[in-house]
Amino acid sequence: MSKPGLFITFEGIDGAGKSTHIEGLATALRAQGRTVTLTREPGGTPLAEKLRALVLNDAMDALTEALLIFAARRDHLQQVIEPALARGDVVLCDRFTDATFAYQGGGRGFDFAVLSKLEQWVQAVPGPQPDFVRQPDLTVWFDLAPEIAAQRLAGARLPDRFEAQPIEFFRRVAEGYGQRAAQAPQRFARIDAAQDRHKVWQQLTSAFVRRGWLAIMVAPNGGPA
């Protein structure tokens, strides 16, 4: 009997280290026989990637920003995420709706009630109940102080219009993530991303071992290559 699909999202402010570890987790899951779909938001489809470029580079107000992100998310769900879950894949997605609440809601100060309504509309998909709204099975939150994240990102690359925001913006984003985690504690696995790479990897894999999604926790040398 084939295993059911799993939808796992990675969240955190820029510089938290999630992108490095999502690749390592994909490798670990594949080594244990799972088929993995690795994707990201905004993006993941040709249309969504075009919308991503607009959101990251063009000036716009918070409502326009949110609408474009949710439009990209709808296409991503329809074209990539739902088909992969139906096949029994493990979908690892670098950011999803929690990021919208953190960045547009917390960072930009946009109305959480409007974001909640968009979430219900856009993520409504066929499911066990008529009003089923797709949510991750697990959200791995790489929690890191904005000051540490800024040090990690300094000089790494030309920042996009989010990465170029001041520290105070990222403090609000971090608070937005905290609010989402408090609303759905059973869905979130908080990772202390200030620790060294090996310890972060141990925290990550332990969350999967506890749920029976990985048979072993971590190799002796620890962490992704």
Question: Is 206 one of the annotated binding-site residues?
Answer: no
Give the contacts of 193 (CB within 8 A, at least 6 positions apart). 12, 16, 17, 18, 142, 143, 144, 200
Q: H helices of 77-166, where?
A: 82-87, 97-100, 112-122, 146-153
Question: Is 143 one of the annotated binding-site residues?
Answer: no
**What is the length of the chain?**
225
Residue 180 token pair: 């989402």
Element (H, E) at 60: none
Residue 52 token pair: 């991503």
Give the contacts of 129 (CB within 8 A, at least 6 positions apart). none
Residue 49 token pair: 């990637």
In this structure, are residues 205 and 218 in contact, taking their beta carbons and an 8 Å threshold? yes
Question: Is 5 one of the annotated binding-site residues?
Answer: no
Residue 87 token pair: 């096949």
* Cα distance between residue 32 and residue 44, in whole Å: 25
Question: Is 15 one of the annotated binding-site residues?
Answer: yes
* Cα distance between residue 99 and residue 149, in whole Å: 16
Question: Is 16 one of the annotated binding-site residues?
Answer: yes
Element (H, E) at 93: strand 90-94
Annotated binding site for ATP: 12-19
Q: Which segments are annotated as binding site?
A: 12-19
